[in-house]
Structure formats: structure tokens, C-alpha cells
């Protein structure tokens, strides 16, 4: 079984000393920086915007995995590209013309991702798999960090993996919400390629060691 990519979620980072956390991730075995963008409309919370992304981009040595939990994401695709996003993920529930949005993201030179909320079945993505580089399954209801993992996510990942295997294009499966060292291996066995973790990493006594435990399934 291959090791998953690890994407620490900066929603849980120390915003009074972001540089220290950025350097920590740069020097760890983490693979991406995961940035959750919230507008207070699509989800009941507000996180951060372009200025913070630009500052993180200046110091990061790894790709920026930007997850848009916002309404009308099409208005801002170019701005996120200019801010430094390498992977840009929009929500199925927020896009009226999802195919068009994913094509635009790719045309801007970014990897295109699409996310679904816990209540959304994977079959709704059948027609857009060939246009996505990544599919993000939310394993908690989006909006806040530190929530409890929804166990039905395992079956959801397996269903999505079967659906992807029927297509020529093979988007990565990413999981976000309640991910930690206890379920990292099971999620990977189910078919996940990328694990997003916030409080499990930044809230641990040794974040670098926690990243290794998640990536290499260490006890």
C-alpha cells in the first residue's frame, strides 16, 4: 500500500506566528499546504483571504492546496491563481456550472478539484470525473476544525474509487475532517490518496512526528 500525501490544514495553525508553522511544514514530510477559504455564507465561519495566501506562498516550498468553501467561486478563480494556488477545489454544492468551472481552473494553470459535503452522494460526480484532478470528500460538515469524523466516509471513498476506476482520468481522492493517526491507515486502505489534518497535527506536541505517523502509519 502506498503512502498517502499529507496536507496540513492551516485553519488550525498559529496565526500569531504563521512563519514558524510554515517553516515547520517545509521541513517536514508533509506534501502540501491545505488552505481553507470560508466566506461566512457557504459555511457559518470566516477564515482568511488573498493577503494571507500570498504571504504563505512567499515562504512555502510545497504546493498550495486551496479549498474554497464559498459561494460564487467563479468570480475569484483568477485571483486565487495570482495569489499562489496550485490546486483549487470548489464545492459541487456551490457551482451551478461545475464543468465550466473546472475547465476554467485548468485553463488558468491550476489543478482542478471538486469537493462534496457529507450529505452529498458520490454519484453526482459521475459526469465530471474526466475534468477533475482531485475529488475532496468532506468527512465532517465544513466550517469548523476539530469536528468528529463521520464513519460513513469509508464507504463513500470506496464507492468513489470504484467509479474512478471506470474512467480513463484518475483524480486523486482527498479526505478532510477528523483525520488523525488513528484512522490514516484505514482511510488509505479505503482508497484515499491525500489526507488533510488540522488539529491532529498543529495541536500535537510534535507536529513533525505526527505527520510521519500519518504518512507511514507508525504507532
Close Cβ partners of 53 (under 8 Å, ≥ 6 residues apart): 35, 37, 64, 66, 80, 83, 84, 85
Considering 36, 39, 65, 133, which one is annotated as catalytic? 36
Residue 142 pLDDT: 79
184, 214 in Cβ contact below 8 A? yes
Q: Is 21 a catalytic residue?
A: no
Catalytic residue among 21, 65, 176, 193: 176
The strand pairing partners of 197, in sequence order, are 8
Determine the pLDDT at residue 219. 64
For 17-38, b/e burial (b = at least 16 CB within 10 A) is ebeebbebbeebebbbbbbbbb
Strand order in the sheet with 33-38: 5-8, 194-197, 172-176, 134-138, 111-116, 87-91, 64-69, 33-38
- The pLDDT assigned to 1 comes to 79
Q: CB 46: neighbour CB atoms within 10 A?
A: 13
Tens place of pLDDT per residue across the chain (219 aa): 789 999 999 999 999 999 999 999 999 999 999 999 999 999 999 999 999 999 999 999 999 999 999 999 999 999 999 999 999 999 999 999 999 999 999 999 999 999 999 999 999 999 999 999 999 999 998 766 666 899 999 999 999 999 999 999 999 999 999 999 999 999 999 999 999 999 999 999 999 999 999 999 986
What is the predicted pLDDT for the residue at 145? 63
Fold of 5-216: TIM Barrel (3.20.20)
Q: What count of other Cβ atoms lies within 10 Å of the Cβ of residue 67?
A: 29
Backbone dihedral angles phi then psi of residue 84, each to the nearest 5 degrees: 125, 10
Distance of CA 156 to the CA centre of its chain: 16
Condensed to tens digits (0 to 9), the pLDDT of residues 7-44 reads 999 999 999 999 999 999 999 999 999 999 999 999 99
Q: Is residue 36 among the annotated active site residues?
A: yes
Helix (H) or strand (E) holding 66: strand 64-69
Amino acid at each position: 500500500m502506498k503512502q498517502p500525501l499529507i496536507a496540513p490544514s492551516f485553519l488550525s495553525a498559529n496565526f500569531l506566528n504563521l512563519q514558524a508553522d510554515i517553516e515547520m511544514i517545509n521541513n517536514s514530510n508533509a506534501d502540501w499546504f491545505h488552505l481553507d477559504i470560508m466566506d461566512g455564507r457557504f459555511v457559518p465561519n470566516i477564515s482568511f483571504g488573498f493577503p494571507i495566501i500570498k504571504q504563505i506562498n512567499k515562504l512555502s516550498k510545497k504546493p498550495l492546496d486551496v479549498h474554497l468553501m464559498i459561494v460564487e467561486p467563479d468570480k475569484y478563480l483568477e485571483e486565487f491563481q495570482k495569489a499562489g494556488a496550485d490546486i483549487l477545489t470548489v464545492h459541487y454544492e456551490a457551482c451551478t456550472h461545475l464543468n465550466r468551472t473546472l475547465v476554467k481552473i485548468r485553463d488558468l494553470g491550476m489543478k482542478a478539484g471538486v469537493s462534496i459535503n457529507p450529505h452529498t452522494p458520490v454519484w453526482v460526480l459521475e459526469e465530471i470525473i474526466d475534468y477533475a484532478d482531485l475529488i475532496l470528500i468532506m468527512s465532517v460538515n465544513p466550517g469548523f476544525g476539530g469536528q468528529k469524523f463521520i464513519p460513513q466516509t469509508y464507504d463513500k471513498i470506496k464507492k468513489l474509487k470504484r467509479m474512478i476506476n471506470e474512467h480513463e482520468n484518475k483524480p486523486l481522492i482527498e479526505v478532510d475532517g477528523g483525520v488523525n493517526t488513528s484512522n490514516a491507515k484505514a482511510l488509505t486502505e479505503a482508497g484515499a490518496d491525500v489526507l488533510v489534518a488540522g488539529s491532529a497535527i498543529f495541536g500535537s506536541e510534535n507536529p513533525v512526528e505526527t505527520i510521519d505517523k500519518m504518512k507511514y502509519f507508525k504507532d
